[in-house]
């Protein structure tokens, strides 16, 4: 069985407060884009095999962790061989690893005819990470809580998005540890209204990521990427905790022109678009 695992961007990210359990309550609009990793699943006689060129221990990979969670949930081993072709940069603020894990849960559910509901998968996935419920579902959503409480929004598909990444990883844990929470809240009502009208340029004064202040201090080059994209006509913002930056463009031609410039300066520059609908495996 072959499938795709899509990247995600945050169309604004607000951090409301810190919880007693160590997590943070957030508010964000989550949207998948057409950049994807490729995974192939094959049943084997026993155990778990992951074929990839990732230079990290298998037991630290979210694909393996997702497999373990599923096996524990159903109370038996689900032998599988998984081949991963990685296109999404790691630790880039694009939920690439989370997407891989989410697809693994759905693939195992289908391959082994486990008949688990989407809500079952979401519930078991929260132990793996706050972005899992969204990566299992997809679509365009306003997420609250730790990222698991959804309000479905009108599809925001077909918008040209240039994603630029300088080629290094940023620890989500470190960013959260150094985050300063303020009392100013992001205008999500205004953002949703602009999205519904596909008024891309109107988003320029509304999109905000509360993670940017700290990341910009530690990695000033990321701030430069945001500024460069903005000068090239994009509505630009850092995604998640970085290091990726995205720019929303009014049309594909403007995106292609920006790509021709920034692809020469940075390790990764992906021409993508927002994708609608809900994920299926």
Q: Comparing C-alpha atoms, which of 5, 7, 3 is closest to residue 164?
A: 7
Residues 230, 236, 240: CA angle, nearest 5 degrees: 150
Pairing outcome for strands 24-43 and 140-144: antiparallel
Longest dimension (CA), the chain: 56
Q: Which residues contact 72 (CB under 8 A, 6 or more apart)?
A: none
Instruction: Kindly tell me the burial class for residue 148, based on how many C-beta atoms sit within 10 Å of its own C-beta (0-12, 13-18, 19 or more).
Output: middle
List active site positions.
8, 131
Distances (CA, A) of 242 to 15, 204, 238: 15, 19, 6
What residues contact residue 37 under an 8 Å CB cut-off, 6+ apart? Answer: 4, 5, 84, 85, 86, 87, 88, 96, 99, 100
Alpha carbon distances (Å) from 215 to 13, 64, 164, 177, 212: 14, 30, 15, 12, 5
Q: Which residues are 150's β-sheet partners?
A: 143
How far, in Å, CA of 85 to CA of 152, rounded? 30
Residue with tokens 């990290």: 56
């Amino acid at each position: 069985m072959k499938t795709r695992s899509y990247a995600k961007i945050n169309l604004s990210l607000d951090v409301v407060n810190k919880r007693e359990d160590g997590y943070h309550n957030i508010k964000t609009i989550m949207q998948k884009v057409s950049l994807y990793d490729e995974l192939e699943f094959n049943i084997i006689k026993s155990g778990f095999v992951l074929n990839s060129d990732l230079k990290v221990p298998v037991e630290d990979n979210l694909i393996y962790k997702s497999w373990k969670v599923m096996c524990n949930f159903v109370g038996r081993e689900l032998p599988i061989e998984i081949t991963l072709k990685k296109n999404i940069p790691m630790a880039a603020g694009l939920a690439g690893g989370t997407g891989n894990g989410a697809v693994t849960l759905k693939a195992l559910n289908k391959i082994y005819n486990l008949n688990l509901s989407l809500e079952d998968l979401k519930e078991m996935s929260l132990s793996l990470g706050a972005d899992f419920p969204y990566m299992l579902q997809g679509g365009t959503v306003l997420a609250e809580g730790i990222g698991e409480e959804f309000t479905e929004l009108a599809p925001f598909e077909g918008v040209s998005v240039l994603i630029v990444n300088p080629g290094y990883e940023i620890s989500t844990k470190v960013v959260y540890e150094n985050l300063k929470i303020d009392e100013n809240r992001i205008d999500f009502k205004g953002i949703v209204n602009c999205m519904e009208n596909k008024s891309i340029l109107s988003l320029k004064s509304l999109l905000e990521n509360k993670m940017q202040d700290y990341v910009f201090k530690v990695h000033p080059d990321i701030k430069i990427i945001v500024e460069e994209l903005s000068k090239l006509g994009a509505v630009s913002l850092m995604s998640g905790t970085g290091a990726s930056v995205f720019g929303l463009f009014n049309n594909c031609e403007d995106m292609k022109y920006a790509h021709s410039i920034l692809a020469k300066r940075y390790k990764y520059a992906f021409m993508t678009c927002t994708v609608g609908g809900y994920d299926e495996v």
